[in-house]
Chains A and B, each alone.
Chain A
Amino acid sequence: MAVEAPPALGDATLQAARGPSARSRDNVRSWALGIWSALALLYLFIPIFVIVVFSFNDPAGRFNFTWEGFTLDHWKHPFANPDLALAMKNSFLIAGISTVIATALGTFMALALVRYGFRGRATVDFFVFLPLSTPEVVIGAALLALFLTMAVNTGFATIVIAHVMFTVSYVVVTVKARLEGMDRHIEEAAMDLGATEWTTFRKVTLPMIAPGVAAAALLAAAISVDDYVITKSSIEIAKPSRAALRIAGAISGSVTLRNVVHSFAPRSRAASSRWRSKPTRRAFTVTTT
């Protein structure tokens, strides 16, 4: 790779050489791709639109399932409930902190795994995959057991620990995909020209892998925020079982998802009517809109 490109003929010349039909086919292809991408993005946003629309709903009772009328009430004082405001703040704080830590740890791990051949690399590679293959329920419960036996006070710090632990593997995988097949000679050239390893890393490697690192950080942040909103809301609104709540307070939302799911949809026949017996629906909607 990284061979000097042949003297460019210029796009226009090439296009002309390939004839007008090729060009129009390229155009069609580009349009098709563009439309497909737009539809894919639309698909991602459909449920969000529905949520936003329903945040303007004026539900007749406590439950927000059928459209009753337009109101701005829910948007007047979104932070009126101090618990919800705090939950919001905590979510972003925890996502921020754990994303920074996980991205840093994960990027360096990916660098070591791709850039260096060393004894035990295959083992480490495998080990990094393990958390990904463990159901979140298990990770959560296992970690809580550890904290409880060590008599650690569960709270902010333990949540950050849990979030870093289960996002770091995502970071490693994403950054590795970027590093693999990337031209090593550029770094070697920098070192040949007298750059130290650190300078090479800062001036050459980091800019080259930056898009991968950014994508990884986004992914980590999304996973973290997602989990924590649920963690917090479930503490506030769901009261299924004491044990479950303790887990909810202690660690990642992955565990507490269950509380929410089960308190909303007990033995879900996936029928929303069941949920109407639960007086929690509205609070939950407010949290996240």
Chain B
Amino acid sequence: MLRLSLHRRRQLMPWIFLGPGLAWLIVFFLIPLVNQANVSLQTGDPETGYVFNWAFSTYTNAINDYSEHFIRSIGYSAAATVLCFVIAFPLAYFIAFKAGRFKNLMLLLIILPFFVSYVLRTVSWQLILADNGFVVDTLKTIGLVSEDGRLLATRTAVIAGITYNFLPFMALPLYVSLEKIDKRLIEAATDLYASRATAFRKITLPLALPGIFAGSLLTFIPACGDFVNAALLGTPRQYMIGNVIQNRYLYIQDYPTAAALSFILMTFILIGIFLYARVLGTRNLTEAAI
């Protein structure tokens, strides 16, 4: 084997580590994506075919026509992400710090429901939230839902569905980052007369930030492109941008608009991630912690 200087090896190592994965992503993700960028600038119709002619108007039209869906996607996904966090953080905290020997069992329980098909789970929610179902009847008796009110086909149902379907994506990264926190740091803080709340705020939460960051991205991003929940638990009035994109792709076969919408969505999401990373400042924080 070739003997390289230590310095050269240090420089080469990351690329050896990255190589296979990066190659996979370039061939099977980047190249097809560039191809789609090309498609998004074509004009034509399904019968006569599409030709490339720098049709940027597709983008402006797409924004004008579907701004409502974009806003709805982002709003629903943001709401679902916050709900996921509220539900998953105590759960992840419990598993990381209190579950003891049940740790692995509980982790398995989190992931287990997700081995049942996504659509079927959502269909099951449809049955549960159905108009004459047990849940709606009970809520009507308590008075939480008005007599002619319903759960299915509302915004609430769609957001609840998204929350349900993306919960593990929040819970697992949270668990991972909480679990590695050195408990002695928290003990040290309480020894030094920090209250439990202060120790949590100053030690646990900052150290869990990478997990919070990862978890909310893994929840928010796929939720933005989701269409299953809106299609099954909502009505066209709750349709998100994912519904529009899939409809354009497969049924209307208007590939340029579908591709353009996808790129607009991706741009929104990436700007969002960038701002979010800035606000949380995860990298700086973790480096400070080391």
**Which A residues are CB-close (under 8 A) to B214?**
173-174, 176-177
Sampled A-B contacts (14; CB under 8 Å): A33-B90, A40-B87, A48-B112, A109-B18, A109-B22, A112-B17, A133-B224, A137-B249, A137-B262, A168-B25, A176-B214, A226-B117, A257-B227, A268-B231
If A109-B18, A178-B176 touch, whether A138 touches B262 (CB-CB below 8 Å) is yes
Instruction: Decide: A212 and B25 in contact? CB cutoff 8 A.
Output: no
**Which B residues are CB-close (under 8 A) to A40?**
87-88, 90-91, 167
Q: A268 to B234, alpha carbons, bound, how many Å?
A: 8
Instruction: Decide: B22 and A124 in contact? CB cutoff 8 A.
Output: yes
Asked if A225 is at the interface (CB within 8 A of a chain B CB), the reply is: yes
**Which A residues are CB-close (under 8 A) to B50?**
none
Q: A171 to B33, alpha carbons, bound, how many Å?
A: 21
Q: A174 to B218, alpha carbons, bound, how many Å?
A: 9
Size bracket of the B interface: 35 or more
Instruction: Decide: A170 and B210 in contact? CB cutoff 8 A.
Output: no
Asked if B116 is at the interface (CB within 8 A of a chain A CB), the reply is: yes
The proximity string for A residues 240-265 relative to B, scoring 1 for CB distances below 8 Å and 0 otherwise, is: 11011001000000000110111011
Instruction: Decide: A178 and B110 in contact? CB cutoff 8 A.
Output: no
**B225-246 at interface with A (beta carbon < 8 Å):** 225, 227-228, 231-236, 241-242, 245-246
Interface residues of A (CB under 8 A from B): 1-2, 5-6, 9, 14, 25-26, 29-30, 33-34, 36-37, 40-41, 43-48, 50-51, 54, 65, 105-106, 108-109, 111-113, 115-116, 118, 121, 124, 126-139, 141-143, 145-146, 161-162, 164-165, 168-170, 172-174, 176-178, 180-184, 197, 211-212, 215, 218-219, 222, 225-227, 229-230, 233, 240-241, 243-244, 247, 257-258, 260-262, 264-265, 267-272, 284-285, 287-288
Q: A129 to B235, alpha carbons, bound, how many Å?
A: 31
Q: Per DSSP, are chain A's interface residues mostly helix, strand or loop, or mixed?
A: helix
Q: A48 to B113, alpha carbons, bound, how many Å?
A: 7
Instruction: Decide: B120 and A288 in contact? CB cutoff 8 A.
Output: yes
If A112-B14, A132-B218 touch, whether A267 touches B236 (CB-CB below 8 Å) is yes
